[in-house]
Structure 1
């Protein structure tokens, strides 16, 4: 005898839609950054739940509150494009715009935003610049991994010196690498020294808003660096995952 699954699945989806049976989220990644001039913080998280769902992204929350996964509060960005402030947070995302699937290689890349959506969250202005998928992916580099000798910090950037790519066959050497702050993550060792720095950098032309570059970089220090040697401005740090 064949069992008709459609009515059963419809009933289950109704229960989930009404909040009944909400999955217990298992958070596997949680970073937090203070938003200057306010009691607010911004989290970047990844979690897993029922039916292999994987909500992830950014959530704004008051620092006095305990983080919990609230899917409806996830910001619309894939990456941040500025340092979050009490006035505004800017980010980028993409849409197919006729460039997904087989049509991808037949399409012409567009690097200016196809649309910009403005909204508000916790009284902070949000600007989401949405780019064509082809244009976005053409400018997105794969993960680059370096070890570095030392660094310098300014208000809006981090400078790394004497870098070596130790993974690729033709490992390159860089005398200097500049990364703007905003979407930078610190991973700490057990003694709170910095184990690794992960940077997701989006460069947008300040006037035309053309997408210039997207890069993902992993940086490992050659020597001991204390967590306190890098400020909180524009920097995410690992947060304690609530039980």
Structure 2
């Protein structure tokens, strides 16, 4: 595990980082961070930042990537992500508006010599595609692009149900570690887009906890964020 000082100066502001995760970018010396911080006037910068692995992380708002979620595993050539905007569906118009699942706009920029594709969706289309769940799992299997969890029990709903198997696409998977370097829980955010139209098929958020001890090293680094423990 990596430990960092969480007081980061940004101009005259001193940020208090309350969460920090890092993932190696495949085939590159760079890493991508996901963070959340607090500063003066209750400002809360958060999101993704790319840095070289030799650089020390610090909060620089100007370097936050313009995406809300990753849609693919980052690599040295490209990063793909999504975000959303109102497009007439924020507030009261939400209930009267039609749902649009296809991207409203696509931006391609260069971030630290990596091409970033940002697909921007209608807020209602994004919101209506989202679901979540909390499960405890018995065992898992990892492949190059996915994680498979087996014998899952729902621990959230009033009417508990069971899943024999749950497949999670890698890219934005977060490992929370305890002091013994074991995995306490896994947060998995997944974005499923139509392969041709890139319309939203499904957006999911899962919280997964192991029934038995699961070591940090039992999972690879590809498409997985690991928690960085913060100290004052």
Is the structural similarity TM-score above 0.5?
yes
Give the structure 2 partner of residue 192 of structure 1: 181
1:140 correspondence with 2:130: yes
Q: Which has the larger radius of gyration?
A: 1
Are the counterparts in 2 of residues 67 and 242 from structure 1 also a CA contact under 8 Å? Answer: no
Q: Distance in 2 between matches of 1:43 and 1:25?
A: 16
Give the structure 2 partner of residue 5 of structure 1: none
Q: Distance in 2 between matches of 1:119 and 1:208?
A: 20
1:51 correspondence with 2:37: no
Q: What runs of 5+ residues in structure 1 fail to find an aligned partner?
A: 1-18
Deviation digits for residues 22-74 of structure 1 (CA, Å, limit 9, x no counterpart) = 31000000000000111100000000000000000000000101100000000
Higher relative contact order (CA 8 A, sep 6+): 2
Deviation digits for residues 88-135 of structure 1 (CA, Å, limit 9, x no counterpart) = 000000010011111110000000000000001110000000000110
Q: Distance in 1 between matches of 2:10 and 2:84?
A: 32
Q: Distance in 1 between matches of 2:100 and 2:26?
A: 34
Of residues 136, 147, 164 in structure 2, which corresponds to 1:158?
147
User: SS state of the match for residue 25, structure 1?
Assistant: strand
Deviation digits for residues 215-235 of structure 1 (CA, Å, limit 9, x no counterpart) = 110000001111111000000
Are the counterparts in 1 of residues 154 and 160 from structure 2 also a CA contact under 8 Å? Answer: yes
Shift of 1:204: 0.6
Shift of 1:241: 3.3
Structure 1 outlier segments of 4+, above 4 Å: none
Q: What runs of 5+ residues in structure 2 fail to find an aligned partner?
A: 1-8
User: SS state of the match for residue 62, structure 2?
Assistant: helix
Shift of 1:242: 6.8
May I ask how many residue pairs the two structures share in their alignment?
224
Are the counterparts in 1 of residues 10 and 59 from structure 2 also a CA contact under 8 Å? Answer: no
Of residues 213, 220, 223 in structure 2, which corresponds to 1:231?
220
Give the structure 2 partner of residue 29 of structure 1: 19
Of residues 175, 181, 191 in structure 2, which corresponds to 1:202?
191
Q: Distance in 2 between matches of 1:103 and 1:69?
A: 35
Q: Distance in 2 between matches of 1:27 and 1:74?
A: 14
Query: Greater strand percent: which structure?
Result: 2
Query: Greater helix percent: which structure?
Result: 1
Give the structure 2 partner of residue 216 of structure 1: 205
Q: Distance in 1 between matches of 2:35 and 2:181?
A: 20
Shift of 1:239: 1.5
Give the structure 1 partner of residue 4 of structure 2: none
Shift of 1:140: 1.1
